Structure 1
Amino acid sequence: MSKLDGNERWKSKMLLTEHQEQYEQRNDSKTSRKQPTEEELTMIRDYVLLPHMLSMVQKSIDDIGHHSNLLKQLYVMAGQAVMNKISEDLYGLRRELSRRNIKIINDEQVDLIVYHRFICRGYEDRFGMVRDVMRSEIGIRLAKYVKEIAGKLAAK
């Protein structure tokens, strides 16, 4: 039995519904500000994909370098241009994530899913991507970068 039991004054204290709603909205807005938005989740996904893309393009450049080909110099230069564009995008993405106070910590692979832990303004969660989805997304992105570089070459 608490000290308030039997005290009739506490029974008359009521919380109005509008005050209850205001209280709940204030608490909801505090927690929702911490969770990442859809745009921020897209940024996290890009942050995960871009380093893989860089390593794939670097591997292709290295493979081309080991073979003798008439257009070897052109292929290497085009690959380097794609790498520069990816690096530029990754640098901008890192700055934006830092500005929004989002940190991506590490990755782990469980079965066919690659997980990355992230902290977004105090909210901590895991972001997972299936390897096949990563592969297809990287293919689409690389095609866009190559198309962009080809467009610049065709304009000259």
Structure 2
Amino acid sequence: MEKVLKTPEPYLKWIKAVQDKITQDLKEIRIQFRKRGIKVYSVEKDHMGVEVKYLCRGYQNNFSMLWSRIGARCQVKMEAYLGLDTSKYIDPTYTELHQID
């Protein structure tokens, strides 16, 4: 990065701060899974997307998401971590449960 930027330090610090925030968010997600009794026991990836199988309060469930949807969600989350305005992605006609967090 030093060869591309004359002053890479601020950018490296910025990237490190974003990585730290992501790590903290993942830790919080794991805590919430434990609190709610959710246990992921299978993750399968193929050319279409990802399928996750999990236990929640004794019941087996599954969740799947296409790669295109994962990419779109990741883009929004990355922009949010970078402090960019993500309001353009939120449809005000959707209920709170459908909004991207």
TM over 0.5: yes
The equivalent position to 2:71 in structure 1, one of 135, 140, 146, is 135
Q: In structure 1, the residue corresponding to 2:13 is in which secondary structure?
A: helix
Higher strand share: 2
Please tell me whether residue 96 in structure 1 is matched to residue 32 in structure 2. Answer: yes
Q: Determine which structure has more spread, i.e. the larger CA radius of gyration.
A: 1
The equivalent position to 2:83 in structure 1, one of 147, 152, 155, is 147
Matches within 5 A, 1:1-150: 64=1, 67-147=3-83
- Let me know the Cα RMSD of the aligned residues: 1.6
Contiguous gaps of at least 5 residues in structure 2: 85-101
Q: Quote the offset at 1:68 in angstroms.
A: 4.0
1:20 maps to none
Give the number of equivalent residue pairs.
84
% identical aligned pairs? 24
TM-score (norm 2): 0.75
TM-score (norm 1): 0.50
Cα distance change of structure 1 residues 136 and 122 upon mapping to structure 2, 3 Å threshold: same
RCO higher in structure (CA 8 A, sep ≥6) = 1
Q: Moved runs in structure 1, 4+ residues, more than 6 A?
A: none
Contiguous gaps of at least 5 residues in structure 1: 1-63, 149-156
Equivalent-residue separation in structure 1 for 2:75 and 2:46 (angstroms): 23
Equivalent-residue separation in structure 2 for 1:126 and 1:78 (angstroms): 36
The one-letter amino acid paired with 1:79 is: I
Q: Quote the offset at 1:72 in angstroms.
A: 1.4
Equivalent-residue separation in structure 2 for 1:103 and 1:96 (angstroms): 11
Q: Quote the offset at 1:110 in angstroms.
A: 3.3
